[in-house]
């Protein structure tokens, strides 16, 4: 939270998320906690859908086409069966 310029401690983060009514905006602290929870969901595999949810939670803009291309290129680089020069 300090890196994001916020002052909330662990209890404030928990309260921001847990005490927020369903469907309501949890505020910046709750959104950051929700994003971190998405990062920690098992299995720890990144997908365009998961990253889109995280970006949306943080209120950031993103380009779906660029995101899909990024993941496609990342999967190709991570594939051990592909020979690289």
- Residue 43 confidence (pLDDT): 66
- Residue 26 confidence (pLDDT): 83
Q: Is pLDDT at 85 greater than 70 in this prediction?
A: no
Angle, CA of 64, 68 and 80, to the nearest 5°: 165
Q: Is pLDDT at 80 greater than 80 in this prediction?
A: no
Over residues 18-74, the pLDDT tens digits come to 888 888 888 888 888 888 887 777 666 667 777 777 787 777 777 878 877 887 887
Instruction: Report yes or no: 67 and 51 within 8 Å, Cβ to Cβ.
Output: yes
Model pTM score? 0.51
- Residue 44 confidence (pLDDT): 62
């Amino acid at each position: 939270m300090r890196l994001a310029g916020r002052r909330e401690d662990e209890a404030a983060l928990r309260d921001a998320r847990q005490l927020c009514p369903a469907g309501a905006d949890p505020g910046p602290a709750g959104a950051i906690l929700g994003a971190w929870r998405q990062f920690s969901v098992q299995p720890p595999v990144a997908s365009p859908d998961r990253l889109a949810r995280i970006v949306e939670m943080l209120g950031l803009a993103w380009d779906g086409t660029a995101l899909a291309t990024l993941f496609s290129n990342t999967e190709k680089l991570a594939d051990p069966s592909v020979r690289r020069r």
